[in-house]
């Protein structure tokens, strides 16, 4: 009978082999777990880098000092034709933008006037980018043919800008949209290619100037003007009779009717006035026709309209685009008998230079003339008479041009 071969400690070869096999399985499991943990950690670092890049570049674009230096950068001023360069923004003078032109590359400088980001143009030309951890690198490749990506420099952006100034017009300090389209291009062999599906990239064929539908989650998107201020204008619509006698009969709006109309009615009664001189900011052009106004400087505006009615029952006010025959915003209220009520409308909209805007009002219940036995009292149903001047103010309009 054969004896089992044992080592000096009395363990058989079979037991040694089983123990070695179990150790190998456990070691493989641990190694796989460590590898998966490292990959998950790499993914977390990568996504954090993309978020940090977005915040860092957007904040720099919003910083007024950095933006001033950016507008003066020689690379940005050298764009041809000149009306597509940043010269018109730097000087805040009139400039025109030709329709159909490609977005222009933007070199970004920081608040200390150092070149901070000189990345890709809209065609994807350039080699500057970022590592997965956010460090700058200069070996990025945008080619996605074969295995042309670079794991040591897999991130870059097509950093460009476009004006919102309509074709064929001139703009003073026009709004621009700056976009950094994320380009994520690692090699197809390393672990970084596993994360392609997690990264939402924007539309590489166009930039939508007004909406976000073409922008990816990690894209850099800033809308702003040369000077980052909320500039405003304020207007009042009213009428002062020739004899300046304070009375509804002399300064009334005319009978408020059930249909939408412009008040005051008749002749050239309606005249916008600027009570505070805000038009010196060049936000508003002189009205070409009574009741209307236009914005010199296109872009997003936030507006509030305040109008008054007396004893008209229902009362409505609209901000109205005369050029396109469209209602921008509408508000209604009730002015009961012997009572005055304010209708307030707030709206945010994109103003287009040259388009005409106005404020319309209506009183479905009609004027209260018969109630008071005075054929002229219906003219007092709108506005507030200013006893010190004889003027009646019907509408107060305040608008602020905002950066986005």
Beta-carbon neighbour count of residue 265 at 10 Å?
Answer: 17
Residue range(s) occupied by CATH 2.60.120.40 in the chain: 231-401
Query: With helix as H, strand as E and coil as C, how does 226-269 read?
Result: CCCCCEEEEEEEEECCCCCCCCHHHHCCCCCCCCCECCCCCCCC
pLDDT digits (tens, 9 = 90+) for 248-301: 555 456 667 788 887 776 545 556 766 544 443 446 665 545 678 887 767 788
Spatial CB neighbours of 330, under 8 Å, sequence gap ≥ 6:
316, 317, 318, 319, 345
**What CATH architecture is 231-401?**
Sandwich (2.60)
Full-model pTM: 0.55
Residue 243 pLDDT? 52
Q: Read off the pLDDT of residues 138-196 as tens digits, 9 standing for 90 and up.
A: 999 987 665 678 999 999 999 998 877 666 666 777 778 899 999 999 998 888 888 88
pLDDT of the residue at 374: 53
Q: Any idea of the CA torsion for 375, 379, 382, 383, to the nearest 10 degrees?
A: -130
178 or 374: which leads in pLDDT: 178
* Predicted pLDDT at 279: 44
């Amino acid at each position: 009978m054969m004896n089992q071969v044992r080592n000096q400690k009395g363990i058989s070869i079979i037991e040694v082999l089983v123990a070695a096999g179990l150790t190998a399985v456990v070691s493989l499991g641990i190694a796989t777990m460590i590898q998966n943990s490292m990959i998950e950690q790499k993914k977390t670092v990568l996504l954090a880098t993309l978020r940090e890049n977005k915040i860092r570049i957007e904040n720099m674009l919003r910083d007024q000092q950095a933006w001033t230096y950016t507008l003066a950068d020689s690379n940005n001023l050298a764009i041809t034709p000149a009306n597509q360069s940043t010269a018109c923004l730097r000087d805040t003078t009139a400039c025109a933008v030709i329709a159909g032109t490609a977005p222009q590359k933007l070199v970004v400088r920081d608040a200390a006037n150092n070149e901070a980001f000189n990345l890709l143009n809209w065609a994807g030309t350039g080699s500057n980018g970022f590592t997965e951890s956010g460090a700058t690198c200069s070996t990025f490749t945008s080619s996605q043919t074969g295995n042309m990506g670079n794991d040591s420099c897999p991130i870059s952006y097509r950093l460009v800008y476009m004006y919102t100034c309509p074709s064929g017009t001139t703009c003073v300090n026009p709004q621009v949209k700056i976009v950094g389209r994320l380009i994520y291009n690692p090699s197809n062999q390393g672990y970084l290619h596993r994360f392609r599906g997690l990264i939402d990239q924007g539309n590489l064929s166009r930039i939508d100037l007004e909406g976000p539908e073409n922008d990816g989650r990690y894209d850099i998107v800033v809308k702003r003007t040369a000077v980052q201020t909320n500039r405003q204008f304020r207007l009042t619509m009213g009428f002062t009779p020739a004899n300046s006698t304070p009375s509804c009969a002399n300064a009334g709006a005319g009978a408020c009717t059930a249909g939408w109309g412009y008040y005051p009615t008749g002749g050239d009664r309606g005249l916008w006035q600027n009570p505070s001189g805000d038009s010196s900011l060049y936000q508003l052009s002189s009205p070409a026709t009574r009741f209307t106004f236009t914005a010199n400087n296109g872009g997003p505006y936030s507006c509030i309209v305040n109008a008054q009615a007396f004893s008209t029952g229902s009362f409505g006010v609209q901000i109205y685009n005369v050029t396109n025959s469209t209602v921008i915003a509408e508000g209604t209220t009730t002015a009961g008998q012997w009572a005055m009520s304010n209708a307030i409308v707030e709206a945010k909209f994109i103003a287009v230079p040259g388009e005409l805007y106005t404020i319309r009002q209506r009183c479905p219940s009609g004027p209260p003339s018969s109630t008071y036995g005075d054929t002229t009292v219906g003219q007092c149903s709108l506005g507030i008479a200013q006893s010190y001047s004889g003027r009646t103010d019907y509408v107060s309009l305040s608008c602020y041009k905002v950066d986005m």
